[in-house]
Structures are given as structure tokens and as C-alpha cells.
């Protein structure tokens, strides 16, 4: 007893960053060439000593070819790890794994203890050579360091660690950034996760496609409500529609441990739903079910199926008093019209939106209190208002009215709260009200990529670039194949001063969607921020060539041409823009004019158009402070005055520097 008390008095507890480092394949090296292996180990320890000295680390323990190090800060630990890996990739290269975590530890003369040590060790053991991996707690400490950037690899269930840990990789030209699939091993598995693939329409009538798609979407919406379960969003799941791909490959691409697939056969008033839940690691069927029911029981089938999946995948059993799906209407015809409306809504074209609106309205004629149809109506008007098909003063009030009716009928519908938040941001400039609605949407559906995407817009408007990036990284984890999410994430990297990282993301986006022309525009802005105006012009020309009209897509190109000193060509873009304004008077082009006039250095005229846009409450104004095209306007007192009119905080010097396109820099 006395010995134990003496030991406790010598024990020291503190908050620290722990780094584990370990040579890869050292035992095999020793067997192959003992002298060379020892030489590489000595090189590793010499580089480690230098990196630790530079960043105030302390070696707590050497064990064979590995080392346990403690730092006073997570920032120092990550910078030390980056220096170490950058040194060891030089010839003769030393293959090294690294893992870092931060938390409370205890240590005495016999060693170091605590969960933080275990987590750091587990992260290191699943790492790969040349990478710097760390936990979400470390990322929270470094996220505001402009010289350190990281990419989320997803959440993993580490051995002997109670809760899933989100793991990040430091991104740098000299470091390895592993694919999430490279981390799957017996030592760690992705957190409980599922992708619901589009159910196959087995009915004789091809029009029933909307019904099978609707079943899929309802199951996704039900499962995102389950705490602790990560569910791939609709866009990424539907990317595999009609494609016969190996389930294991799908699991790797979407970063999920399980996939639900099935079919729907609808005949008269009867429906047959088949479903299989499959393990993506080995292709093993966890369960297979067939449901033969009356069509009126479709909600019960959805609830039974989603609850069974949840019970199998989540840590705690879902109680019988917590249904995941409940009937949203007793009118089956209204529900069918809603599903058909969503079928058109998900095609994302102006014409399909008109068809969707017509079907939602028909559903509401049959069932005026049908919250899902009201929510769909709100989302449709938001889309039509954002693309200029319906004037903002008409579209946004209609969207708000529909969303408020949906919330009155069903306050637990996340889509309605998100719609209200969007109206409050884009039209009302009611930022406190938007924040309240977004918090409620996140509370109801924390696993919705759409909610996190909308949340990022709030932070962009507020000038909180790091939080906008965090929200979009979460959205991208949930919807990794969504072009709109990836495009927005790239923009978030741009406004965080990470132009090179954004460029890499946009090229990957173009690999799986070569027709996504918005990526070329974004690449143009990234190139301008990096000082390569000629490359920017090439990207903007490619973007313009993919539009439907020679007068479209001229803003970025006109700006870049002006920055390159090619004024005549820039003014030609301006004339084409004016030609479009004459031909399409209902389309608001004020923002495009701002960009070209800013590029030409006509600041007063740029502000005339910008003030006109504010008077009209154009939707894109919520990104006012984030647009690199307006960097020449940012320091002008009129700019912060306009932000004040919108109820937004003034732009800081740090913000201006992150998105500044400097004249002399771009004319080199």
C-alpha cells in the first residue's frame, strides 16, 4: 500500500500531444541485410532527434525501430512530423508510419499511460509509409494554421477504443495522403456506415421507376436520423444506378462497411420489396428479406426495414417507441404524386423542376397538410429562384410560405428547417433566424450532407472560412460523389488560402464528371490566386466553350483578360454581357458586371452594379466576401458598408489577404 502511494505521488498528469513513429518492415529488412537496416534506423533516429529538438518534443520511449514522443502542443507535434517525413523521403529513404493524438496522459518512471496513448498507437499502426495521420482532436488544434492543411479520411472504429475516431492526413506535396480504403484492416474499421443503392424497379410499367427511387430515398432519410450511423447521401448512392459493380468496390469508393440493395415490384394495390444488407469487406450477406404487403402498408415496410438495419449496425438497440419512419400522409394517391414529383426534382433541370412543382401542387390539392409535398414545393422554388428562372421577390416568399406550412404540419422534417434557413439567408438576411433553423435541422438529421452543405453557406456569409470548410468536409464524407458538394468544398479551400489543394480536388471532380463545367471556372480562380493568369484564361475559355451561348460564361474570362492587360478582349466580354442583358431582361447579371468592371479597374462602376445587386437582394450576395473576383473592392470602405446593409460583420484584413488577387503578382 505504501509503495502504491509513493508511486502515485510521483505520477504526473498533463494534457499533451502524443506521437508514435515506427519504421515499416524493419524485421524483414534485418533478415535481408542487417547492416543496411541498422543504418536506416540510425538515419531515422538522427532525423527524429533534429525534428524533436526544433519543436520542443521529448522522447519518452524507444522500442526497437519505434519511438514514443510527447509534445506540449498539437501544432508542434504535426510540424515536427511533417519535417521528419520530409527528411526521410530523401535518399536513402526510410519508410515510416506516424500517428498523433492529443489528450490527458499520466506518466512516471515506469512509463506513460492513458487512453490518448492508446489512440495515438492505433492511428500509427494503421498508417502508411510517408503519411502523417492524426485524430480529429489534433485537427481542431491545427485547423487555423495557414501552413498546415489536412484531409479527412473518415471515421474509424479503432481496436479497444470506445467511440469512432475521425482520422485526418496532413496534405503536402512531399507527403503521402492515403486513400481511406488503404486504412481498412483488422486493427481498424470504418465507423458503422451504410449506403442504400437505388432499388431496382421490377414492375412491368417503367413509370414505376419513381416509386422504387422513392422507396430508396425514404430509407436514406430514415437512416440518417440514427445517431452514430453514417449514411451515404442520395447523390453518391444514385451514382451506381443501373451499374453492375462489385459491392466491395462500391464500399471502397463510398467508404462504407455495408450496402443495402433491393428491388420493388408494384402491381395494383400490392407491393413486393426485397432487400439484402451486404458486408462490403467480404461480400457476405448479413440478411435478406422479402416483404409482400398491401400498398397502404408501404410506410410500415420502410420502418421495419430501416429499423432492422439500424439495430444491426448501431451500438445500442433501438427501442420500440422510436420509429424511424412514420406515415406522412394517409392519402396514398398524394404520396404517389409526391414520389413522382421527387423523381423529376432530382433531375435538376428547369423543365423537370416545373414538372415537380406541378406534381407537388396536385398532391397538396388532395392533402393540404402533407408536409413532404410542402417541403418539396419550398425546395423547388428555392432552386428556381437561385438560377433566375423565377424572380427572387416571387420565388423566396413562396418558398418560405411552403416551408412554414411544412413545419406547422411536421416540425421534425429536417428539409423544412433547411428550406427556412435558406430563405432567411438568401432573401431575408436574417442570420440569427437562419442559425436557429440550421441548428434544428442538424439536430434532426446530423447525417444529412444537404444540411451540412447549407450550414457551410452560413459560415461563408459570416466570414468563418474554417467552419465552412469543416461543414463541407463533413458533407463530402457523407456524399463523396456529389459534384455540387465537391465543387463547394473546393471553393472552401480557395477562401481558406489553399488554392493548390482546391485545384487537385477540381481535377478529381473532372475525372468522374468531365462535363461539370463549373470546375473549369473554379480552376480559373485558383490559378489567378496562384499568379498564373495565362492558365486562368485557358480555364475560363474552356468554361465558356461549354455554355450554350457565346454571351454566357463571360465574367471570369473578362476579369482574367483584364488582369493580363488584354483590355480590348475584356471589353469585348463586357459588350457580350450587355448583349445578353438586352436579350434576357429577366436574368440578373449585376454580379457578372461587377467582376469585369473590377478587373478593368473601374471601381466606381463596379460598385454601382454591386449596390444594384444589394437593392435586388440577389441570392449569390451571401458569398459577397468570399468571391476572389472582388478583391480590388474589398479594401474600399463602401464594401464593408454593403456588408453592413446585409447585417454581416465587416471583412477583416486576414480575410482580404486570403482571397486577394494582386495586380503586380498576376502580371509577372
Q: Is the pLDDT of residue 474 over 80?
A: yes
Query: Cβ neighbours of residue 479 under 8 Å, at least 6 residues apart?
Result: 232, 233, 234, 235, 236, 449, 485
Phi-psi region of 601 (alpha: psi -120 to 50; beta: other; left: phi over 0): left
In angstroms, what CA-CA distances link 10 with 2, 3, 5, 14, 307? Answer: 13, 11, 9, 13, 51
Question: Residue 668 has what pLDDT?
Answer: 35
Domain boundary among 300, 327, 354: 327
Of the candidates 473, 510, 465, the one whose C-alpha atom is nearest the C-alpha of residue 180 is 473
Partners of 113 in beta bridges: 106
If asked whether residues 247 and 373 sit together in one domain, one would say: no
**Residue at a domain's end among 188, 220, 239:** 188
The residue behind cell 480575410 is 655
Please say whether the beta carbons of 289 and 305 come within 8 A.
yes
Q: In this structure, are 473 and 613 located in the same domain?
A: yes
Backbone angles phi, psi at 416, to 5 degrees: -70, -45
Same domain for 547 and 423, yes or no, is yes
Q: For residue 602, what is its C-alpha cell? A: 473601374
Residue with cell 477562401: 495
Grid cell locating 97: 508510419
Tell me, what's the pLDDT at 553? 87
498: DSSP letter: -
pLDDT by residue (tens digit) across 263-314?
888 777 777 888 888 888 778 888 788 877 776 766 666 666 666 666 665 4
| Sheet strands (E) in 525-651 | none
Q: Is the pLDDT of residue 8 over 60?
A: no
* Cβ neighbourhood burial of 95 (10 Å; 0-12, 13-18, 19+): middle
Cell 522500442 belongs to 63
Q: Average pLDDT in the 318-328 region? A: 48
Highest mean pLDDT among 212-226, 252-266, 614-628, 630-644: 630-644
CB 607 within 8 A of CB 636: yes
Residue 341: pLDDT band (50, 70, 90) is confident
User: Quick one: pLDDT at residue 14?
Assistant: 77
Whole-angstrom CA distances from 226 to 166, 280, 300, 316, 668 are 18, 20, 17, 11, 54
- Statement to judge: residues 279 and 158 lie in one domain: no
Distance of alpha carbon 31 from its chain centroid, rounded?
A: 45
**Within a 10 A sphere around the Cβ of 24, how many other Cβ atoms?**
15
The two beta strands, 58-63 and 66-71, are antiparallel
If asked whether residues 321 and 177 sit together in one domain, one would say no
Instruction: Identify the band that residue 339 occupies on the pLDDT scale cut at 50, 70 and 90.
Output: confident
Whether residues 258 and 389 share a domain: the answer is: no
Q: CA–CA separation, 197 vs 236, rounded Å? A: 9
Neighbours of 12 (CB within 10 A): 9
DSSP E strand boundaries for 110-185: 111-113, 133-135, 150-158, 165-170
Average pLDDT for 358-370: 90
Average of pLDDT values for 504-526? 87
CATH of the domain at 391: 1.25.40.10
pLDDT tens string 150-188 = 888 877 777 777 777 888 999 887 888 887 666 655 445
pLDDT of residue 79: 94
Same domain, 138 and 229: no
Give the whole-angstrom CA distance, residue 497 versus residue 395. Answer: 34
Same domain, 460 and 484: yes
pLDDT category at 440 given cuts 50, 70, 90 is very high
What does the alpha-carbon distance between residue 557 and residue 602 come to, in Å, rounded to a whole number? Answer: 16
Q: What angle do CA 241, 233, 266 make, to 5 degrees?
A: 50
pLDDT in tens, 556-605: 999 999 999 999 999 999 999 999 989 888 777 888 999 999 999 999 99
For 57-89, the three-class secondary structure string (H helix, E strand, C coil) is CEEEEEECCEEEEEECCHHHHHHHHHHHHHHHC
- Is residue 204 predicted with pLDDT exceeding 80? no
Q: Is residue 332 part of a domain?
A: no
Is the model more confident about 549 or about 228?
Answer: 549
Tally the domains of the chain. 3
pLDDT tens digits, 396-435? 889 889 988 988 888 888 888 988 998 899 889 999 999 9
CATH number, domain at 17? Answer: 3.30.70.1230
Strands (E), 439-589: none
Q: What's the whole-number mean pLDDT along residues 230-255?
A: 83
From start to end of 246-313, where are the E strands?
258-267, 270-279, 285-294
In a domain, 374, yes or no: yes
Q: Are 343 and 223 within one domain?
A: no
- Which cell is 82 given? 511533417
41/411 Cα distance (integer angstroms): 62
Closest CA to 333 of 412, 381, 269: 269
Closest-CA residue to 544 (of 528, 560, 568): 560
The domain spanning residue 273 has which CATH number?
Answer: 3.40.50.10610
pLDDT tens by residue, 90-147: 888 888 889 999 988 776 666 676 777 888 888 988 888 889 999 989 998 898 787 8
pLDDT band at 446 (very low <50, low <70, confident <90, very high): confident
Q: Which of 327, 356, 386 is the last residue of a domain?
A: 327
Q: With the CA atoms of 49, 52, 54 and 58 taken in that order, what torsion angle do they form, in degrees rounded to the nearest 10?
A: -120
Q: Is residue 291 part of a domain?
A: yes
How confident is the prediction for the chain on average, in pLDDT?
A: 83
List, for residues 45-96, the tens digit of each pLDDT value.
Answer: 899 989 988 898 988 887 767 888 999 899 999 999 999 999 998 888 888 8
Residue 330 buriedness (CB in 10 A; 0-12 / 13-18 / 19+)? exposed
Residue 425 sits in the same domain as residue 569: yes
Q: Please enumerate in sequence order all residues whose Cβ is within 8 A of that of 399, keeping only pairs 6 or more positions apart, or say none.
A: 377, 378, 379, 381, 382, 385, 419, 422, 423
Residues 273 and 174 in one domain: no
Do 190 and 155 form a contact (C-beta atoms < 8 A)? yes
Q: Report the pLDDT value the prediction gives residue 222, as an integer from 0 to 100.
A: 75
Spatial distance between the Cα atoms of 221 and 293, rounded to a whole number of angstroms = 21
Q: What are the angstrom distances between the C-alpha of 239 and each of 244, 479, 512, 568, 618?
A: 12, 10, 10, 44, 32
Per the structure, the complete domain to which residue 66 belongs is given by 2-188
Residues linked to residue 103 through DSSP beta bridges, in sequence order = 16
At residue 26 the predicted structure's pLDDT band, cuts being 50, 70 and 90, is: confident
Segment 325-351 shows an average pLDDT of 75
CA–chain centroid gap for 53, Å, is 37
Provide the terminal-to-terminal Cα distance of the chain, rounded to the nearest Å.
75
- Torsion sign, CA atoms 142, 143, 145, 148: positive
| pLDDT the model gives residue 237 | 85
DSSP 3-state of 290: strand
Percentage of the chain modeled with pLDDT above 70: 88
Other C-beta atoms closer than 10 Å to the C-beta of 579 total: 14
pLDDT value at residue 170: 92
Q: How far apart are CA 416 and CA 429, in angstroms?
A: 18
**The three cell numbers locating residue 195:** 449506403
Determine the pLDDT at residue 365.
92
Question: How far is Cα 251 from Cα 229, in angstroms, rounded to an integer?
Answer: 15
Q: Do residue 470 and residue 598 come from a single domain? A: yes
Amino acid at each position: 500500500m505504501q509503495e502504491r502511494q509513493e508511486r502515485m505521488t510521483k505520477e504526473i498528469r498533463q494534457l499533451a500531444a502524443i506521437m508514435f513513429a515506427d519504421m515499416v518492415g524493419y524485421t524483414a529488412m534485418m533478415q535481408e541485410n542487417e547492416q543496411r537496416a541498422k543504418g536506416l534506423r540510425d538515419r531515422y533516429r538522427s532525423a527524429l532527434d533534429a525534428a524533436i529538438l526544433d519543436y520542443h518534443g521529448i522522447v519518452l520511449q524507444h522500442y526497437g525501430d519505434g519511438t514514443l514522443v510527447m509534445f506540449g502542443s498539437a501544432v508542434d507535434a504535426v510540424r515536427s512530423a511533417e519535417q521528419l517525413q520530409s527528411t526521410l523521403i530523401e535518399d536513402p529513404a526510410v519508410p515510416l508510419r506516424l500517428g498523433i493524438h492529443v489528450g490527458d496522459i499520466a506518466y512516471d518512471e515506469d512509463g506513460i499511460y492513458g487512453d490518448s496513448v492508446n489512440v495515438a498507437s492505433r492511428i500509427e499502426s494503421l498508417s502508411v509509409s510517408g503519411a502523417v495521420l492524426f485524430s480529429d482532436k489534433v485537427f481542431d488544434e491545427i485547423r487555423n494554421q495557414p501552413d498546415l492543411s489536412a484531409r479527412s479520411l473518415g471515421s474509424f472504429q479503432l481496436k479497444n477504443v470506445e467511440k469512432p475516431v475521425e482520422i485526418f492526413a496532413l496534405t503536402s506535396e512531399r507527403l503521402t495522403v492515403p486513400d481511406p480504403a488503404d486504412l481498412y484492416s483488422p486493427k481498424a474499421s470504418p465507423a458503422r456506415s451504410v449506403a442504400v443503392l437505388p432499388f431496382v424497379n421490377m414492375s412491368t410499367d417503367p413509370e414505376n421507376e419513381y416509386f422504387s427511387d422513392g422507396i430508396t430515398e425514404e430509407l436514406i432519410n430514415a437512416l440518417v436520423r440514427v445517431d452514430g450511423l453514417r449514411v451515404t447521401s442520395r447523390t453518391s448512392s444514385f451514382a451506381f444506378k443501373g451499374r453492375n459493380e462489385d459491392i466491395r468496390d462500391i464500399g471502397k469508393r463510398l467508404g462504407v462497411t455495408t450496402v443495402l440493395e433491393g428491388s420493388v415490384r408494384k402491381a395494383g394495390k400490392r407491393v413486393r420489396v426485397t432487400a439484402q444488407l451486404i458486408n462490403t469487406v467480404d461480400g457476405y450477406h448479413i440478411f435478406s428479406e422479402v416483404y409482400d404487403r398491401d400498398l397502404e402498408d408501404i410506410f410500415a415496410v420502410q420502418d421495419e426495414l430501416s429499423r432492422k438495419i439500424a439495430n444491426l449496425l448501431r451500438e445500442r438497440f433501438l427501442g420500440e417507441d422510436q420509429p424511424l419512419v412514420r406515415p406522412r400522409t394517409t392519402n396514398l394517391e398524394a404520396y404517389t404524386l409526391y414520389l413522382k414529383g421527387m423523381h423529376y426534382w432530382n433531375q435538376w433541370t428547369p423543365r423537370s423542376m416545373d414538372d415537380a412543382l406541378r406534381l407537388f401542387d396536385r398532391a397538396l390539392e388532395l392533402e393540404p397538410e402533407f408536409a413532404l409535398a410542402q417541403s418539396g414545393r419550398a425546395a423547388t422554388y428555392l432552386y428556381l429562384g437561385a438560377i433566375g428562372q423565377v424572380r427572387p421577390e416571387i420565388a423566396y416568399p413562396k418558398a418560405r410560405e411552403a416551408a412554414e406550412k411544412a413545419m406547422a404540419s411536421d416540425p421534425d422534417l429536417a428539409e423544412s428547417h433547411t428550406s427556412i434557413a435558406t430563405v432567411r439567408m438568401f432573401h431575408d438576411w436574417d442570420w440569427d433566424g437562419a442559425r436557429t433553423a440550421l441548428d434544428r435541422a442538424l439536430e434532426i438529421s446530423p447525417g444529412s450532407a444537404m444540411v451540412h452543405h447549407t450550414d457551410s453557406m452560413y459560415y461563408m456569409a459570416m466570414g468563418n472560412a474554417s467552419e465552412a470548410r469543416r461543414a463541407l468536409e463533413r458533407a463530402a464524407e457523407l456524399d463523396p460523389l456529389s459534384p455540387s458538394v465537391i465543387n463547394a468544398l473546393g471553393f472552401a479551400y480557395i477562401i481558406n488560402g489553399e488554392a493548390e489543394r482546391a485545384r487537385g480536388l477540381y481535377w478529381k471532380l473532372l475525372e468522374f464528371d468531365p462535363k461539370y463545367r463549373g470546375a473549369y471556372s473554379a480552376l480559373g480562380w485558383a490559378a489567378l490566386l496562384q499568379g498564373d493568369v495565362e492558365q486562368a484564361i485557358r480555364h475560363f475559355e474552356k468554361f465558356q466553350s461549354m455554355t450554350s451561348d457565346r454571351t454566357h460564361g463571360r465574367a471570369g474570362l473578362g476579369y482574367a483578360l483584364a488582369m493580363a492587360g488584354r483590355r480590348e478582349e475584356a471589353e469585348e466580354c463586357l459588350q457580350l454581357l450587355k448583349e445578353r442583358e438586352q436579350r434576357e431582361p429577366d436574368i440578373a447579371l449585376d454580379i457578372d458586371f461587377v467582376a469585369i468592371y473590377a478587373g478593368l479597374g473601374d471601381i466606381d462602376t463596379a460598385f454601382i452594379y454591386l449596390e444594384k445587386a444589394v437593392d435586388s437582394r440577389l441570392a449569390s450576395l451571401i458569398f459577397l466576401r468570399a468571391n476572389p473576383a472582388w478583391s480590388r473592392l474589398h479594401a474600399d470602405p463602401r464594401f464593408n458598408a454593403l456588408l453592413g446593409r446585409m447585417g454581416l460583420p465587416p471583412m477583416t484584413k486576414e480575410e482580404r489577404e486570403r482571397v486577394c488577387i494582386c495586380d503586380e503578382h498576376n502580371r509577372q
